[in-house]
Amino acid sequence: MVLERQRSPLRASELPEPAPGPGEVAIAVAACGVCRTDLHIVDGELSDPKLPLVPGHQVVGRVIELGAGVEELRAGDRVGVPWLASTCGRCAYCTGGRENLCPFATFTGYSVDGGYAERMLARAAYCLTLPDGFADLEAAPLLCAGLIGYRAYRFTADAMRLGLYGFGAAAHVIAQVAVHEGRRVFAFVRGDDTASRDFALSLGAEWAGDSLGPAPEPLDAAIIFAPAGELVPAALRNTAPGGTVVCAGIHMSDIPSFPYELLWRERTVRSVANLTRQDGRDFLALAPKVPVRTHVERFPLEAAGDALDRLRRGDVQGAAVITVAETAP
């Protein structure tokens, strides 16, 4: 499924069979999660993607061909392909353990073709080994909703009272991790979204309420997964002194001005950008221990546009996943 121009529908296309170059592998795609970042790319909110583009960066599949020099993978291996497609490996960010900030990084389904396809290429060194016990459909949301959510979650340090704003794919994973680690979870959803409230409570949140309203008690930290800038001052109002508000999206509408008193007393607002391979290894080791159970809605490859439309309307509970050809876990 190809995006030829931003703000236009995806088009079903026959493309040449991809051949791996040095350091690359060809992958037979089994499943690919549908992410809000895909929607930002299609809708033109993220500029300068590769065009034409095959979107998708939560890919589960099997290695079918190795490029020259690949030693860490073998044909038949099941792998995950996340957002981070490659980095330079030489800049201060890469050598300092912050490859997510590499200015020369490339990104799956944005600067290189992604997983809305039967076949794709990936750099072998940036593929992730997937834990047993997760079927392809269930594993796909772990590769962005899980990984970016987990990176954001780590920035909440030891916060016991955790607010999650926007209860979609990422929040439904991180709520399970937080409850597993003994945190108290407070879910913030659109005021009329009773389905999301019930969903959050079913996953262990002790309270669910209006995103723009007050929390039942002060929060030690909050993570904002929804791309709505007006949630930043709303979350600050609910955050205790010394608390942190983490903005976890790659795109967010403008943050409205707010009085300094909301930030005062050592509250912090910070963003999260991309992920590192170590984030991936750490989270995928943790997920089976929780165990994380992803709630997914399946779409065939040719219905990728429908999945994006549903996500745009806020009409997906949990995660949307495109399936191509499922394999055994």
How many angstroms from the chain centroid is the CA of residue 173?
A: 10
The answer to whether 65 and 117 have CB atoms below 8 angstroms apart is no
Q: What residues does 119 pair with on adjacent strands?
A: 28
Identity of the residue numbered 264: W
- Rounded average pLDDT over 235-252: 97
Angle, alpha carbons 162-165-235 (nearest 5°): 75
The answer to whether 67 and 24 have CB atoms below 8 angstroms apart is yes
Q: What residues does 60 pair with on adjacent strands?
A: 31, 80
CA distance 315 to 230: 21
Query: Which residues are within 8 A (CB) of 183 and not within 5 positions of it... i.e. 6 or more apart?
Result: 159, 160, 161, 162
For residue 95, pLDDT beyond 80: yes
Query: Which residues are within 8 A (CB) of 306 and not within 5 positions of it... i.e. 6 or more apart?
Result: 299
The answer to whether the Cα torsion of 276, 18, 57, 53 is positive or negative is positive
- Rounded average pLDDT over 31-49: 96
Q: Which domain holds residue 193?
A: 156-271
**How confident is the model at residue 81, as a pLDDT?**
98
pLDDT digits (tens, 9 = 90+) for 113-152: 999 999 999 999 999 999 999 999 999 999 999 999 999 9
For residue 83, pLDDT beyond 90: yes
Do 129 and 161 sit in the same domain of this protein? Answer: no
pLDDT digits (tens, 9 = 90+) for 174-193: 999 999 999 999 999 988 88
Do 282 and 319 sit in the same domain of this protein? Answer: yes
**How confident is the model at residue 329, as a pLDDT?**
43
The proportion of the chain whose per-residue pLDDT surpasses 90, expressed as a percent, equals 97
- Rounded average pLDDT over 148-171: 97
Mean pLDDT of the chain: 96
The answer to whether the Cα torsion of 229, 232, 233, 237 is positive or negative is positive
pLDDT digits (tens, 9 = 90+) for 245-286: 999 999 999 999 999 999 999 999 999 999 999 999 999 999
CA distance 252 to 174: 20
- DSSP secondary structure code for residue 140 in this structure: G
The answer to whether 83 and 148 have CB atoms below 8 angstroms apart is yes
DSSP string, 204-215: T-SEEEETTS--
**How confident is the model at residue 193, as a pLDDT?**
86
How many structural domains comprise the chain? 2
Is 19 a domain residue?
Answer: no
C-alpha distance from residue 32 to each of 29, 119, 185 (Å): 7, 11, 28
Is 147 a domain residue?
Answer: no
Do 286 and 251 sit in the same domain of this protein? Answer: no
For residue 327, pLDDT beyond 80: no
Do 171 and 210 sit in the same domain of this protein? Answer: yes
How many angstroms from the chain centroid is the CA of residue 160?
A: 23
Is 17 a domain residue?
Answer: no
- Among residues 254, 271, 288, which one ends one of the domains? 271
Is 49 a domain residue?
Answer: yes
What kind and span of H or E run contains 150?
Answer: helix 145-154
How many angstroms from the chain centroid is the CA of residue 276?
A: 13
Do 304 and 247 sit in the same domain of this protein? Answer: no
- Among residues 271, 286, 303, which one ends one of the domains? 271
For residue 18, pLDDT beyond 50: yes
Do 135 and 278 sit in the same domain of this protein? Answer: yes
Do 245 and 283 sit in the same domain of this protein? Answer: no
Of 212, 229, 223, residue with least CA distance to 270:
223
Do 108 and 252 sit in the same domain of this protein? Answer: no
Instruction: Give the confidence band of 326 by pLDDT, cuts at 50, 70, 90.
Output: low
CATH number where 297 lies: 3.90.180.10
How many angstroms from the chain centroid is the CA of residue 136?
A: 16
Is 176 a domain residue?
Answer: yes
pLDDT digits (tens, 9 = 90+) for 192-215: 889 999 999 999 999 999 999 999
Do 266 and 295 sit in the same domain of this protein? Answer: no
Do 283 and 229 sit in the same domain of this protein? Answer: no
Which tokens hold the place of 82? 């996340």
Is 199 a domain residue?
Answer: yes
For residue 328, pLDDT beyond 50: no
Is 148 a domain residue?
Answer: no
CATH number where 166 lies: 3.40.50.720
Angle, alpha carbons 206-226-102 (nearest 5°): 120
The answer to whether 147 and 225 have CB atoms below 8 angstroms apart is no
Is 112 a domain residue?
Answer: yes
Do 34 and 134 sit in the same domain of this protein? Answer: yes
Do 84 and 227 sit in the same domain of this protein? Answer: no
CA distance 167 to 123: 32
